[in-house]
Amino acid sequence: MHLFLENSRPKELLIKVFFIAGGVFCLTSLVLLVAGAPPWPAFYHLFVGALGSWSKLAQVLMVWIPLTLCACGLLYSFRIGLWNIGVEGQVVAGAIASTAVLRFGVESGSPSLMIVMAFAGGILGGSAWAILAGFLKTKGGVNEIFGGLGLNFVAQGITLWLIFGPWKRPGVGSMSGTELFPESLWLPTFLSARLSPAGLVLTVLALVAAAWVLNRTRLGLALKGIGSNPKAAYLHGLNPSTYFILAMGLAGGCAGLAGAFQVTGVYHRLIPVISSNYGYLALLVVMLANYRVWGSPWIAFFFACLNVGSIQLPIVLKLDSSLSGIIQGALVLTTLLVYGLRSAGSRLKLRG
């Protein structure tokens, strides 16, 4: 957990970034060469595919929004020392809840109110799903990793059941999801591109809120204290179980918001892969951001660029779009390696 928590000096940080970038580049190039593809054009098309035009940038931001929202949530759960791997299921639960609200609102007279309600429903749905994992931990002694992972499968199962069962399209259910909502229930977008200002504002608000709660409030300090030493925190009058539930509730709320955004702003229906794996990806984002609030949106942006940019690759270079996954994986691995080697190095120095 405290892998990167030490404050490194700028020069040291620069050296690390250099090694990490170099490592990622070498690893990825190696994979490309093995696959028989030229590395340079691949990197070029990745870049252009993500940032080559305003509409591309808008696409990147539409990925950035749910990814950053999930990361915001994870900041709370990481702060108290929980590995909330169930974030994925919490996105799904939020999406299901907000779909439920919107289905109810198809007949309603005021669509904007219904969209707001759908967001509220998403937050509650994600929260409830996370709190379930929290209670499994505090009351049932189930590690949050296993509980969360289990609940992810359950959430996925419920989604499929809804799509092929109660919420199926008129006629026959299909993998393409539920019936598309009327456009009045879509999150408003601007530009010719589909970029939602409301989504951007909500995400920035979530970031500011996370920064405020974690750094300025008693709650934030309590999360940090318990995360660092639950036994001592208990002796200092904090009840770890209560805060575990609170942190999970906050984390799930953010993830649920991401789910609601996927439904109202991106797909306008419930689909089987509604979470797009953003939950799992956000775990990597927060780890790479050193569990810090203001590092997360940048890493999330970089990851979003990779995701969007790689969509080009199959068309242009006949490469699979999973290259973005390889780069993300290589990034995490080299970062862990660079920090791991460094701390091993300093241990050696201490011994010698």
Partner 1 sequence: MRITLRDIRKQYGKVNANDGIDLEITEGSIHGILGENGAGKSTLMKVLAGYTVKTSGKILINGRPAEYDHPSQATRLGIGMLYQDPLDFPPLTVLENFMMGLDRGLVSREEAYRLRLREMADHFGFHLDPDTAVERLTVGERQQLELVRLLALGVEVLILDEPTTGISSLQKQALFSALRKLAREGKTILLVSHKLEDVEALCDRITVLRRGRVEGSMVLPFEGGRLLAWMFGNELAPPPCFERRTEEGAPTLAMEEVSALGGRAGLSPCQVAVRQGEVVGLAGLEGSGQGLFLRLAGGLEKPETGKIRVAEEDMTGKDHHAYRAKGVTFLPAGRLEEGLMPGLTITEHFALQQPKGIVIHWPKAWEMAQQGIGRFRIRGSPHSAAESLSGGNQQRLLLALLPANPLLLLLEHPTRGLDMDSVRWVWEKLMAYAAQGTSIVFSSAELDEIFQMAGRVLVFFNGVVVKNVRTCDTTMEELAKAIAGKG
Task: Give residues in contact with partner 1 (CB under 8 A).
Answer: 2, 5, 216-219, 221-222, 224-225, 227-229, 231-239
Distance in angstroms (rounded) separating the CA atoms of residues 330 and 259: 27
Distance in angstroms (rounded) separating the CA atoms of residues 303 and 309: 10
Provide, rounded to whole angstroms, the least separation between the CB of residue 232 and partner 1. Answer: 5
In the block, which residue shows the tokens 């049932």? 140
Angle 40-328-76 (CA atoms, 0-180°, nearest 5)? 150
Which residue number, 5 or 26, has a Cβ lying nearer to partner 1? Answer: 5
Distance in angstroms (rounded) separating the CA atoms of residues 326 and 13: 24
Beta strands per DSSP E along 46-94? none
Provide, rounded to whole angstroms, the least separation between the CB of residue 290 and partner 1. Answer: 13
Distance in angstroms (rounded) separating the CA atoms of residues 277 and 325: 11
Q: Which residues contact 22 (CB under 8 A, 6 or more apart)?
A: none
Provide, rounded to whole angstroms, the least separation between the CB of residue 218 and partner 1. Answer: 6
Centroid of chain to Cα 71: 5
Which residue number, 63 or 226, has a Cβ lying nearer to partner 1? Answer: 226
Which residue number, 106 or 232, has a Cβ lying nearer to partner 1? Answer: 232
Which residue number, 79 or 269, has a Cβ lying nearer to partner 1? Answer: 79
| Residues 311, 49 contacting (CB under 8 angstroms) | yes
Closest CA to 70 of 305, 288, 277: 277
Provide, rounded to whole angstroms, the least separation between the CB of residue 92 and partner 1. Answer: 31
Which residue number, 9 or 231, has a Cβ lying nearer to partner 1? Answer: 231
Which residue number, 236 or 347, has a Cβ lying nearer to partner 1? Answer: 236
Torsion angle, CA of 106/107/113/116, rounded to 10 degrees?
-30
Provide, rounded to whole angstroms, the least separation between the CB of residue 227 and partner 1. Answer: 8
Provide, rounded to whole angstroms, the least separation between the CB of residue 2 and partner 1. Answer: 6
